Chain A
């Protein structure tokens, strides 16, 4: 055993290693991504990125059916994509243990919604563990694999952003030994979910939940901390930590397994207290079930449903104590939102779309930042892959010039995730919309993970690369054009021609993400602005590059200046300058 300081995600990866996991699969998604990046460090685990969460779970199910312990990880919205296999997996149960880690994102730090995945546990009848720190993240991962095999069920392990990305001290253990080797084993009544078989499995599933609810009452992961005889708290996950800060003297029933509820344990605990709080983040998931037992609690009548909890928010909600800061800011402060990186190949594409006054159906990725001023060229963003179908739907109902303005924009990774299906629909149903695939060869937003169009695996090994142009042609798109997004005029012209085309078309912008380490060669020396040539026209500011800074007090009406530490020499700004003020740094 050794002591380390680990994030929740690192601890889950360590727990998977100690549990003897053989296969780990995921599609990247904040805040879950680092789990697979860390399982990849253990040679005993086959770790890989799948094109989407549904495929990831199906691969995990396959290896679990082969008898191997399998880990599948995703962010909360990924479970929506994987929900189809998930609900049936609940019926088949497992052979090797299967744990699905779902990372929720209360406060939407990096997500498009704030859904509470605990509802999936109930809907799919899949039991769910929820750790409150990194030590529990490791232990519950191990426990979840054991429970999975003991009860013949997939298991959820749910985290939230503050668990996934918080570091705390962890004592690691030794890996288990003596697990059976994977092998083929035919078992159609359990694995072939046709109606006749599935009806029987449903009966099994209902009994399984009852058995687990009873079992869970006597397990140490559901623990009672005795303190006050008057005030009790039922809580789980990171909310437990906030409850300890705000109600330090209260007795606590801390749930490790949040579904199914240990009914008898809850009833016995609740009966002892005059005042009983349920402290949970997002939905009133525990509270509704506890109230259904006829137990009165204080919970979401005071605590917020929207946003994450914090110690201050819990204190304010429960005791109506508004905190007065000791220090105040006394002037208006400019915000500092995220921005596309200097040298990002998406920047020129969104500048062109802005100029063309396109109505852009957007998608999920770094390029969603094309929404921000001054580029301001994204009009919708729904979910992974939605840009394509959204463009087709608009195309159906619009006429004349409006119809031509609709352009879908999607990244390479998102296109392969769930965009390709929409493209088939475009061809099949005769849409005339245009789709731009921003091919930067990586899943950039989550921190540059490989995908089937990268040419590399999670381990960094070279692999087959999907040819996006051939793929689009093969589904029936006749006009597929590639452009270099560093060339502003070419990019604008090609997009304009394809918008006007009376048939479905695809434009692929080809340029690797500026942050890909193996492609750092694309970085060029920074540019400089000749202050004598800069007239202060602000044309170059319209691309919103973080490396270009406006100096309002220079010259008569201000001048632009290039931050030498940030500029990577992409030259988009140079193409916008009518006064030839930009040039490469020279050594003389």
Chain B
């Protein structure tokens, strides 16, 4: 069977993982791949952990990534990146935001946010890249563009022409936020 590449996006509801996965899938379709993408809506959206599976190749069957076959773990929040580490393939890569968002038990003082997650990830995974998404987004002019800055970092690891990324962003990002998102995307590419 021909090789399928698996990208797992992990984050917290409300962080814009959905838009990032939509742009990513569009780009891969434009590049001529078969693409499948899956995520869970509903109950899990209310500030809970969210993940989105994107698979591409000559022909893709399962819409969810077979366990342990994730090629790139693309994390939007440190704890969520770390939580999904067991799904990563041996020799796979991690691209993660360095943002920390408190889960309810931490926000209410029942538990502490685990320390040293960045180091734990980098020690275990040779191909790991930590990005300060918020800083890049602020530099681009809007803190809400962090998801697209992270996507810029991811784009350097996927063999797809730059024009297609721009084409997809122009199609899927609302016009009035387009310029700052294009800036964030470029800053993300430079940071990778």
Contact = CB atoms under 8 A, between A and B. Distances in A.
A312 B38 CA distance: 16
B67 A312 contact: yes
Given A109-B42, A336-B79, A338-B43, A166 B36 contact: yes
A328 B86 contact: yes
Interface string B109-125: 10111100000100011
Contacts of B125: 327
Interface in A146-166: 161-163, 165-166
B68 A312 contact: yes
Contact of B29 (A166, A169, A341): A169
Nearest to B112: A552
Nearest to A109: B40
Contact of B63 (A34, A168, A335, A338): A168
A485 interface: no
Contact of B1 (A167, A248, A333): A248
Contact of B42 (A31, A311, A325): A31
B103 A335 contact: yes
Interface in A133-153: 133
A30 B90 CA distance: 35
B43 A30 contact: yes
B41 A447 contact: yes
Interface residues of B, number: 58
A326 to B, nearest CB: 4
Majority SS at the chain B contact face: mixed
Contacts of A541: 107-109
Interface in B85-134: 85-92, 102-109, 111-114, 120, 124-125
A459 interface: no
Given A169-B35, A326-B89, A565-B143, A338 B47 contact: yes
Contacts of A339: 46-48, 104
B63 A334 contact: no
Given A5-B25, A30-B42, A327-B124, A337 B66 contact: no
Contacts of B114: 331-334
B61 A245 contact: yes
Interface string B50-63: 00000000001111
B83 interface: yes
Contact of A241 (B1, B13, B61, B120): B61
A541 B109 CA distance: 8
Given A312-B66, A552-B109, A165 B40 contact: yes
Q: What bracket does the count of chain A residues touching chain B fall in?
A: 35 or more
A238 interface: yes
A477 to B, nearest CB: 32
Contacts of A244: 61-62
Contacts of A558: 109
B34 interface: yes
A179 B114 CA distance: 63
Given A242-B62, A338-B46, A339-B48, A30 B41 contact: yes
A323 interface: yes
Contacts of A331: 114, 120
A269 interface: no
A3 interface: yes
B102 A549 contact: yes
A109 B44 contact: yes
Contacts of B39: 165
A550 B38 CA distance: 34
A538 B110 CA distance: 11
18 contacts: A109-B40, A162-B64, A163-B63, A245-B66, A248-B1, A310-B66, A312-B68, A328-B85, A328-B86, A333-B83, A334-B103, A334-B111, A334-B113, A541-B107, A544-B108, A546-B104, A546-B107, A549-B106
Interface of B: 1, 12-13, 25-26, 29, 34-49, 60-64, 66-68, 79-80, 82-83, 85-92, 102-109, 111-114, 120, 124-125, 143
